[in-house]
Amino acid sequence: MPNTALGAPCGLPVHLAGLGASPTSMDVLGTLRRRRVTRPSESVVTVHPLVPPREEPVDPNTTASAGRRSEQATTRRHLLAAAVGVGVTTVIARAVDAQAGTVLTAISGPATALSPAQRIGPVDVPPDPPAEGEILFPIEVGPDDYCYVIDGFGDCRGTSCSRSHAGVDILADRGLTIRAPASGELTHQYVDSGETWGAGHGWTLRDDSGVVWKFFHMDRHADGLEVGNRVSFGQTIGFVGNTGTSGVPTGTNHHLHFEYRPGNVPADPFPLLERDPDVVFES
């Protein structure tokens, strides 16, 4: 089932994001080997990869050797931080942590201010298709969510059983995602009247094979959807709620009334529903 946070800009490790040039940046970079080419209209500085200075062999088991390796690693990290902040045409700095063996690489272009990370809205990730002959469970449920299906298809409804229940009720936590069990067109939108009767917020969906699906009592519709829109298999269309006939003063009757209508004739979806392991089914 579906379903990230942004970190540093592309190509820049998170722990280097936001580093800028400091007054000592160029002083530090002065320790690098570099070649300057000056033309009438531009100045390009090419910074070569860091080359550690030649040193006299030191016994690796001595305390002095360990201290020197630590000092070298710190110096290389400082050089990398300085290089990232310098406004040269292209800077490629490479630092190797001699103790941890970690390799860090940073690439930056012309000096520009780094923009703060921006949050991306939810993106639908298509769920795995159900087995042949099964219906995708219409609510996205996690292991810590409450969800309970009652097979009440055909039960008496109305005064003196004036009508029968044309779907099944899926009790679930308020706000859980309701998703399209098939790709198709939204043909009708139900809007809650504020009264404790009717469908409340909901949709009618006609899929590409001609099957009609109905979803009642939603808390709200998914943003941006309207009648005539096409939706894809698994796409979010709304959220579990307690509107319409579902509404009770205590607000504890959150559920989805779900109808499956092949040829627009009501049929019991209960035996066809995908058996989600996080859902309790009661016939």
What residue segments make up the domains of the chain, in order of their start? 14-108, 147-282
Burial 44-70 (b: 16+ CB within 10 A, else e): ebebeebeeeeeeeeeeeeeeeeeeee
pLDDT at 221: 98
Enumerate residues 6+ apart whose C-beta is below 8 A from 103: 94, 95, 96, 97
CB 93 within 8 A of CB 51: no
Q: In this structure, are strands 184-190 and 163-164 parallel, antiparallel, or unpaired? A: unpaired
Enumerate residues 6+ apart whose C-beta is below 8 A from 113: none
Please list the rounded mean pLDDT of every run of 10 residues in the chain (283 residues): 41 41 43 44 47 50 51 50 42 40 43 43 73 96 96 89 93 97 98 87 98 98 98 98 82 91 97 96 88
**HSE-CB of 192 using CA atoms within 13 angstroms:** 19
pLDDT at 1: 45
CA-to-CA dists, residue 154 to 148, 166, 268, angstroms: 18, 6, 8
pLDDT at 129: 93
pLDDT at 246: 81
Q: 């298509």: which residue's tokens?
A: 126
pLDDT at 109: 47
Q: pTM for the whole thing?
A: 0.57
CATH number 2.70.70.10 is the correct assignment for the domain at 147-282: yes
Burial 196-232 (b: 16+ CB within 10 A, else e): eebbbbbbbbbbeeebbbbbbbbbebbeebeeeeebe
Give one DSSP letter per residue of the chain, joined into a string.
Answer: -------SSTTS-GGGTT----TTHHHHHTTS-EEEEE-SS-EEEEEPPP-PPP-----TTSHHHHHHHHHHHHHHHHHHHHHHTS--S-EEEEEE-TTT--EEEEEE-S--PPPPP-PPPP---PPPPPPTT-B--SB---TTS-EEEE--TT-EESGGG-EE--SEEEEE-TTPEEE-SS-EEEEEEE---SSSSS--EEEEEEETTS-EEEEEEEEEEPTT--TT-EE-TT-EEEEEB--GGG--TT----EEEEEEEGGG--B--GGGB---TTSEEE-
Residue 54 tokens read as 């030649």
CB 77 within 8 A of CB 71: no
Query: Rounded distance, CA 91 to CA 106, Å?
Result: 8
pLDDT at 167: 95
Residue 206 tokens read as 């006609």
